Chain A
Amino acid sequence: MRKLSKSKQQASGGLDLIPAESCAIPADGQACSIMPAVLADEPAGSVEKDLSRRRFLGMFGAVAGATAVLGTGVELLSYRAYAQGLPKTNNWTGNSGMTGSGAADMASTQAPPTHQWAMVIDLSMCNGCGSCTAACQKAHYLTPDQTWMKVFELTDTTGQTYHLPRPCMQCENPPCLHVCPVHATFRQEQGVVLVNQDRCIGCRMCMAACPYEARYFNWNSDVKYPPIPVEATPEFPVPQRLGTVGKCTFCVGNLNHGLLSECAAGCQMGAIYNGDLKTDVAVNSAGTTVKLSKFLDDNNAVTFKPEQNTHPRVWYILGHGQNLNADASTAKS
Chain B
Amino acid sequence: MKSLSRWLIAAVATIGSVLVVSGTAVAAAGQSSAVLDLAVQTVSANGVNLALSAQAGSGASGQSVTFFVQTQEFSSHGWMALGTSVTNSAGEATYTYTPTWTGTELFGAALGSSDAVATPSVTKSFQVLKDPPGVPQSVIEYSRPLGTEGGIFVKSILSVLALVWILLLGSLVLVVWRMPRLTRASVDTSQSGRN
Contact = CB atoms under 8 A, between A and B. Distances in A.
B137 A51 contact: no
Contacts of A8: 8
B6 interface: yes
A30 B137 contact: yes
A178 B145 contact: yes
Contacts of A51: 10, 102-103, 127, 129
Contacts of B8: 4, 7-8, 10-11, 18-19
Given A17-B11, A56-B72, A278-B101, A33 B138 contact: yes
Contact of B131 (A11, A35, A289): A35
Contacts, number: 186
Interface stretch (A39-47, A225-233, A316-324, A325-333): A39-47
Contacts of B136: 116, 191, 277-278
B41 interface: no
A88 to B, nearest CB: 22
22 contacts: A3-B6, A4-B1, A7-B6, A13-B12, A13-B17, A16-B16, A19-B11, A27-B134, A34-B137, A35-B3, A47-B10, A51-B10, A51-B129, A56-B72, A116-B139, A172-B140, A188-B139, A278-B137, A280-B135, A281-B73, A281-B100, A289-B71
Contact of A31 (B12, B75, B83, B130): B130
A191 B170 CA distance: 47
B16 A18 contact: no
Contacts of B6: 3, 7, 39, 47
Interface string B100-117: 111110000000000000
B79 to A, nearest CB: 6
B51 interface: no
B74 A258 contact: yes
B15 interface: yes
A228 B34 CA distance: 58
Contact of A27 (B13, B72, B80, B133): B133
Contacts of B72: 53-54, 56-57, 258, 279
